[in-house]
Amino acid sequence: MSPDRLSTTLAALADPTRRAIFARLALGETSVTELAEPFDISLPAISKHLKVLERAGLIARGREAQRRPCRIEPIALKDVDDWLERYRRFWDESFDRLDEYLHKLQMKEKKRGRKTGPRRVRSPRRRQPTPRVRRPQ
């Protein structure tokens, strides 16, 4: 995916209304009117959001008589997923290295006879003893 195409796709998904529309379309094909129902914005505003998603290649709109059904174009998400894969690998490898480091620290602690796990931190304030009430005899 070219950087310009990627920027267009990510910019289209940056808007919360467009993400909500996209999430609704993930449930299946639907008309523009049905998409507009849960939003407190006009039908022309919904159409503008759909045009942005369509320009980014995230959705496709058809025409069936008076109905304009919209659907997701999954290939656009595949391209984003491919781009993100290299970062996913970076974080997976980083977490693996961190896990190895923590395991080594735990082994050192065990060799020294210390307990592993979180250390207990005392509260800086001392608790006042509860006053005892004497019962009459």
pTM over 0.75: no
| CA 119/CA 116 separation, integer angstroms | 8
CATH dotted code for 3-76: 1.10.10.10
13-17: long-range contacts (C-beta < 8 A, 24 or more apart)? 13/56, 13/58, 15/49, 15/52, 17/41, 17/49
* Per-residue pLDDT of the chain in tens (137 residues, 90 and over written 9): 555 888 999 999 999 999 999 999 999 999 998 999 999 999 999 999 999 999 999 999 887 777 778 999 988 888 888 889 988 989 999 999 999 999 999 998 888 876 656 665 555 555 555 555 555 55
Q: What is the DSSP-derived secondary structure letter of residue 67?
A: B
